[in-house]
Structure 1
Amino acid sequence: MKRIAVFASGTGSNFQAIVDAVKESRLHAQIALLVCDKPGAAVINKANEAKVDTFVFSPKQYASKVEFEQEIVNQLHSHEVDYIVLAGYMRLIGPTLLEAFSNKIINIHPSLLPAFPGIDAVGQAVRAGVKVTGVTIHYVDEGMDTGPIIAQRAVELVDTDALEDVEQKIHEVEHVFYPETLEKLLQE
């Protein structure tokens, strides 16, 4: 069984969806570690409730990105992690992690990439007035949301959808689609 580390910075709704999928045997993986760059983030409580080890750090406590990424690599190796799964981790992954886990870092993004990369993808889609947006799961490379696409799922919008409605539709898809896609990927 593959061992994964989930990286998250916020509330942890995708982290919880992954925990639930493992618990319900829809995802055959072991969550070995939560990595969080925001002490006090709600995802930490979710990890504690799920009895998942955590590595919580503040980037400001390190002299450089290389230094904190090397500490993360050390944590990942000590937890025998096979894959990194990003779930709302709001940092670009740097060369230290990319080299240590080449083609083993997966991200979920709330748009149909290459449309609307970066932050506030849902807001970008709403402001652009698109009729279809969606969710992309992709490998991470050195760019922002530029890695090879693994899978995508469309989400149709209607004219009456407010930003909050679109966010809810996206989350509903993410919470099912991410575990499904991870299951396929990790069983290959």
Structure 2
Amino acid sequence: MKNIVLWINGQGNQVALANKINEAYQVKAIVVEKRKSTEKMTASKLYEKIYQRIFLQEISESWNSMQAAYKNKYPNLPDCAVLEVENINSEECLEFTRSHKPDIIVVSGTRLVKKHMFDIKASIGVVNLHTGLSPYVKGGPNCTNWCIANNEPHLIGNTTMWIDEGIDTGSIIATDFVNFTGNETLSEVHVKVMNHAHDLYVKSIMRAIEDKASCPSVPQKELGIGKTYYTKMWGLPQKIKLVKNFKNFSKQVNSPEFVKKRSEYTVLPLE
């Protein structure tokens, strides 16, 4: 029996992921990162919030409705040892994780894991989920929204990787596109992406546990290059583009051009 320790945040999609992993293979312990908000309200940020509330409601509503649906289905974490911390890189997290002698550490939704946390020697390793298609779309705060805002819905997908100290730069276990009918609302797009991410992650974790030697570890540079996005780059102009471009989403994902564009990128589905 291998020991799985999760490092996640407390949102509904992460609680759902914890339960799905636990259903496949019993989780030993979970560290939940609950950050304190440090955002300072400026005049420009206040204007943006008001504008978004009036004209761009579907963005926040799509994310919130997805979280609510997960919370309704998975109201609680699995029954195991749980520690709440403000920062996943804390000494408290380090010692708690060590005490549970992890074979594999599963990371999702936390802040960037710092160098000293890799002092924990997990026999299988440390894995990460990126809800974006590495190496082509990295960072955040939400790569699906970035793809739509950039008029690149063909790049919507998910990645599992062996974690390193960079932002979504670790060697890849698996990547794959998310498929759509074109009839989805923005909320349904996010649900499809997240469910796909969960499924890909569970399969990747099980492969690593059952046979690490056969578990892929492909350097991202072998697939290509892309762009890293940062939360500070996600502002009102990008949100306006998201809402505008999503009106053409159905037409785009059902077009021959969409299929052609996807064929130009290499993905690594987990066999």
TM, length-normalised to structure 1: 0.78
Q: Distance in 2 between matches of 1:99 and 1:115?
A: 29
Give SS of 2:22's match.
helix
Partner of 2:11: 11
Specify the code of the residue in structure 1 equivalent to 2:174: A
The whole-number CA distance in structure 1 between the counterparts of 2:9 and 2:21 is 20
The structure that is strand-richer by fraction is 1
Contact 2:98 2:120 in 1 (8 A): no
| Residue 128 of structure 2 corresponds to residue 99 of structure 1 | no
Q: Which moved more, 1:102-111 or 1:173-182?
A: 102-111
Residue 87 (structure 1) shift: 2.4
The runs of 5 or more residues in structure 2 that have no matched partner are 37-66, 212-271
2:151 to 108, 117, 129: 129
Q: Aligned partners of 1:7, 1:53: CA distance in 2, in Å?
A: 12
Q: Select between 176-185 and 4-13 the one with higher mean Cα deviation.
A: 4-13
Paired residue for 1:32, among 28, 32, 41? 28
Match of 1:153 among 176, 191, 212: 176
| Deviation at residue 15 of structure 1 after TM alignment | 4.1
Tell me which stretches of 4 or more aligned residues in structure 1 moved more than 4 Å. Answer: 157-162
Residues 4 and 32 in structure 1, CA contact (< 8 A), matched pair in contact too: yes
Q: Which residue matches 2:263?
A: none
> Which residue of structure 1 lines up, in the alignment, with residue 194 of structure 2?
171
Percent sequence identity over aligned pairs? 23
Which of the numbers 108, 121, 133 marks the counterpart of 1:87? 108
Change (3 A) 1:21 1:38: closer
2:203 pairs, out of 177, 180, 184, with 180
Q: In 2, distance between residues paired with 1:186 and 1:80?
A: 15
- Say whether residues 1:115 and 2:141 are aligned partners: no
Separation in 2, partners of 1:148, 1:2: 22
The structure having more radius of gyration, on CA atoms, is 2
Q: How many residues are matched?
A: 172
Q: Deviations over 1:117-138 (max 9, x none)?
A: 1112111111122224211001
Relative to total residues, which structure has the larger helix share, 1 or 2? 2
Decide whether aligned partners of structure 1 residues 93 and 115 sit closer, same or farther in structure 2, where only a CA change above 3 A counts: same
Alignment of 1:45-56 (within 5 A): 46-47=76-77, 50-56=78-84
Give distance in 1, aligned partners of 2:35 and 2:149. Answer: 32
Runs of 5+ in structure 1 lacking a partner?
A: 60-64
CA contact (8 A) 1:138 1:151 kept: yes
User: 1:18–1:179: 8 Å Cα contact kept in structure 2?
Assistant: no
> How far is 1:75 from its partner?
0.7
Say what the alpha-carbon RMSD is for the aligned residues.
2.7
Structure 2-normalised TM-score? 0.56
Residues 56-71 of structure 1: matches in 2 within 5 Å? Answer: 56-59=84-87, 68=90, 70-71=91-92
Residue 38 of structure 1: how far off its partner (Å): 0.6
Q: Is the 8 A contact 2:20 2:202 kept in 1?
A: no
